[in-house]
Amino acid sequence: MNTGATARQSLVVFSLDEQRYAIPLEQVRNALRMVAVTPVPEGRALLMGLIDLAGNVIPVIDTRARFQHPDREIRLSDQLLVVTTGRRTVALWVDNTWGVLEVTEEHFVPAAQIVPGLDSLAGALKLPDGLILIHDLDRLLSLDDERSIEGIVSEARGVP
């Protein structure tokens, strides 16, 4: 979050099962209904496969696996959030998107105050109807994940 008593931030809220998560609006390119995902044989557990979005090959991240939710079959009602991490554009498989939430710093608890060392979390929002975990997309993928995904995407594009 920004510093200052009246700092506001816009977050896109999504859910997996009953848990709500959020990511900064400026990192979200768009939200799509689930489309056919092309599986990749050498993909890691984190990588569900690839989609073609307006001529761009986009890796689809198994957010359920990354956020430690039980595996399940893809549903037609599922969605893909196309986001920009620190290094690439990816699609996140989510159950639902709930829209944009404007929050102030008074509702924000930094990750270090919750459990030190939670690398993928930026913090949490304390709201009257429960907690929303805010993920740091710049730390969503490890360097090994990045290298693996880059190789798979390059191969899909036909780049040696």
What pLDDT digit, counting tens, does each position of 126-149 carry?
888 888 988 888 887 777 878 888
pLDDT at 117: 62
What band does 118 get if pLDDT is binned at 50, 70 and 90? low
With a cut of 50, say whether residue 5 has pLDDT above it: no
Partners of 33 in beta bridges: 79
pTM across the whole model? 0.85
Question: Can you say how many angstroms the Cα of residue 94 is from the centroid of all Cα atoms in its chain?
Answer: 8
* Sole residue written with tokens 């609006």: 25
Rounded-to-integer distance, Cα 48 and Cα 79, Å: 14
Beta carbons within 8 Å of 126's beta carbon, 6+ residues apart = 107, 108, 109
Chain-centroid distance, C-alpha 148: 18
Token couple for 131: 């907690």
pLDDT of residue 3: 41
- End-to-end, the C-alpha distance of the chain in Å comes to 40
Mean pLDDT of 35-52: 84
Q: Which domains does the chain have, with CATH numbers?
A: 8-157 (2.40.50.180)
Q: Is residue 159 pLDDT above 80, yes or no? A: no
How many residues in total does the chain contain? 160
According to the per-residue pLDDT averaged within each range, which of 53-67, 102-116, 141-155 is highest? 53-67
Tell me, what amino acid is at 68?
Answer: Q
Rounded to the nearest 5°, which phi and psi values hold at 47? -95, 115
